[in-house]
Structure 1
Amino acid sequence: MPLFALGLNHHTAPLAIRERVAFGPERLLTALKDLTARCAQEAAILSTCNRTEVYFSTQEPQAAADWLAHFHSLPLADVSPYLYTYPDREAVRHVFRVASGLDSMVLGEPQILGQVKEAMRQAEEAGTLGTTLHKLFERTFSVAKEVRSSTAIGANVVSMAAASVHLAERIFERMKDQRVLFIGAGEMIELCAAHFAGTGPKQITIANRTPERALALAERFGGDTLRLELIGDLLHKYDVVVSCTASRLPIVGLGMVERALKARRHRPMVMVDLAVPRDIEREVEDLDDIFLYTVDDLAQVVASGRESRQAAVLEAEAIIDDRVQGFFHWLEGRGAVPVIRALREEADRLRQAELERAMRRLAKGESAEKVLESLSHGLTNKLIHGPSHYLNHAEGESLAEAGEMVSQLFKLGQR
């Protein structure tokens, strides 16, 4: 049965679309059972804030797209422009890349592996995980572990967002104890929030001119929101401030930061200004206990990590390509299982017939030596009857091919 991966992610679809096709935990088991009842033999669903993907085996891949739209009560036309479908090898390679963090918003992030494991667990619970998908997930976890342990895929900083976390971690030993304020809700803040969320901070807050966009982003990362005009009153509560807006004038001024430091009793603050023009007044960097980083500062960190990370990506892709090949060797081997089973059953039938004949002769009093001799000849003749008949009826070029095949099967001339 052909294997497919169908879905959409942060590369192909905006948040507004991803939200509409996400599967909440309370509906996942129902969805899996419904999918297998309608159009799939096996199925598993991975649903995160950045992607919704269905891994399944079927003869009708288009039916799965129809099912996805129908299950969420959406017109197919609303989601089809954002969907991708990977068949067979491409599907396996995609799953390996996803679990290894190569397809994540945060390159090399480790959380996705746990989410893939949860997708497998849910499919097992629903009873929709057959032999093929079970083996696929086993290989997936093995590949992800190999990529993480034998490459530096998660070790180097290659984005402004990752550099923001890297610089904050230089100041604070444990990000889990820190509160982070994001000013803005655009793409760069979204990326930064994803990186910081991966460190498990104590609090994440989004402040933005458009409350709806701030709320959507906060819900994704388990945070809360703050009205933009209240930043000055509450700035002292935050240990890390990351700002990136389109404002033409600074949002965080020198006086605002001075008051915050006084309220904090001069506990240090990390401030990251990713906006051009600046969101944070330049004079703020002269304050004691303030560690202010600009786009130029982050660019230096990124440049130092990009070369080593690129080498790690190439290594990871090579590992994945090799393991995809290995999975399909296993899959192709499974195609021979029915033939092997039938061959064994036929051989056992012949053995049983010859054994019964031998037992009857022994019961009549014939010598054991003659009966065993006859038994061995009978088995030999019956087992080579098929190949002999095949060779005797082959002609021309097919005769040479038949001879080569039989020679390989019985390892003739190799002893």
Structure 2
Amino acid sequence: SQLFEDLKDIKVLFVGAGEMIELVVTHFAAKQPKAMAIANRSLERGEKLASRFGAEVMRLADLPDRLHEFDAVISCTASTLPLIGLGAVERALKKRKHRPMFMVDLAVPRDIEPEVKALEDVYLYTVDDLASVVQAGQAQRQAAVAEAEVIIDAGVQSFSHWLGQRDVVPLIQQLQTQADAWREAEVARARKLLAKGADPEAVLDALAKGLTQKMLHGALAELRSADPAHRELTMQTVQRLFLRQER
């Protein structure tokens, strides 16, 4: 995403059709690139994976002639020899008029010749580079945690302000303690998910939903279990507390 401003404008080539490539294709498909193609030694297996994501399938033998068509190339096969050589990439760059190419080699041994990394218009990453990429991502995840804490604190403060208008100090303190416990639990859960590499936006969404469910659980439980004789009063109380109109 740092190399290409909009992933919807790029063409992506996946070399291989194993479990790792399947995971990567799933990730890229969610970004809706302009086009995707899968090159595999077994056309049948390649076609099976390609059909799931609306991708084109091609033969490995066609790689040298078609490499220039793609802005991003991700490779992970069981080949014992490189499938993409320096010469093939140089020819592809010439046909592309040296528009940059993003390449990821997840194979061991490598699918892409190491010399390709020296080319000026190629950004090649291997499994050896992934550790540093993951470390860089840690900083972003920590930033997401901080953002989540700000969101929760803002909600708790708003709730506390509303409670402050009531003359029931002991109850206010109990509610404040409960709200703080909810916040700490949700933040701890978010930290664990982010540490595992979960998408920060999805974690924030789950965090907000979790906090909302906790806040509404008591009211919903009361509504469901209220005695018929007192149901109207319960409904009025819940409505007054949770459905107040903003002025």
Report if TM-score (shorter chain) is over 0.5. Answer: yes
Q: Distance in 1 between matches of 2:11 and 2:137?
A: 26
**What is the TM-score normalised by the length of structure 2?**
0.63
Shift of residue 215, structure 1, vs aligned partner? 2.1
Q: Distance in 2 between matches of 1:210 and 1:324?
A: 49
- Give the RMSD, CA atoms, in angstroms: 2.5
Call closer, same or farther: CA 1:200–1:321 in 2, change over 3 Å.
closer
Paired position in structure 2 for 1:185: 17
Give the aligned residue type for 2:55. Answer: G
Segments ≥4 residues shifted beyond 4 Å: 315-321, 340-344
Paired position in structure 1 for 2:68: 236
Shift of residue 318, structure 1, vs aligned partner? 5.8
Q: Distance in 1 between matches of 2:33 and 2:97?
A: 21
Between 1:209-218 and 1:277-286, the stretch displaced more is: 209-218
Give the aligned residue type for 1:214. Answer: G
The within-5 A match list for 1:85-234 is 169-234=1-66
Call closer, same or farther: CA 1:340–1:183 in 2, change over 3 Å.
farther
Gaps of 5+ in 1: 1-168, 345-415
Q: Distance in 2 between matches of 1:196 and 1:343?
A: 52
Q: Distance in 2 between matches of 1:308 and 1:268?
A: 25
Paired position in structure 2 for 1:324: 213
Q: SS state of the match for residue 73, structure 2?
A: strand
Task: Report which of the two structures shows the higher radius of gyration computed on alpha carbons.
Answer: 1
Paired position in structure 2 for 1:339: 228
Give the aligned residue type for 2:76. Answer: C
Gaps of 5+ in 2: 146-189, 192-202, 234-247
Q: SS state of the match for residue 173, structure 1?
A: coil
Q: Distance in 1 between matches of 2:126 and 2:24?
A: 14
Query: Between the two proteins, what is the percent identity of the paired residues?
Result: 51
Q: Distance in 2 between matches of 1:262 and 1:188?
A: 30
Q: Distance in 1 between matches of 2:232 and 2:2?
A: 66
Shift of residue 337, structure 1, vs aligned partner? 5.1
Q: Deviations over 1:206-259 (max 9, x none)?
A: 111222332232222221111111111111111100111111110101111122
Q: Distance in 2 between matches of 1:261 and 1:179?
A: 15
Shift of residue 281, structure 1, vs aligned partner? 0.3
Shift of residue 327, structure 1, vs aligned partner? 4.3
Paired position in structure 2 for 1:269: 101
Give the number of aligned pairs.
176
Q: Distance in 2 between matches of 1:325 and 1:185?
A: 43
Give the aligned residue type for 2:52. Answer: R
Shift of residue 323, structure 1, vs aligned partner? 3.2
Are 2:147 and 1:258 equivalent residues in the alignment?
Answer: no
Paired position in structure 1 for 2:181: none
Give the aligned residue type for 1:332. Answer: A
Q: Distance in 1 between matches of 2:22 and 2:58?
A: 16
**What is the TM-score normalised by the length of structure 1?**
0.39
Shift of residue 341, structure 1, vs aligned partner? 6.9
Q: Deviations over 1:115-150 (max 9, x none)?
A: xxxxxxxxxxxxxxxxxxxxxxxxxxxxxxxxxxxx
CA contact (8 A) 2:223 2:231 kept: no
The within-5 A match list for 1:366-377 is none
Paired position in structure 2 for 1:309: 141
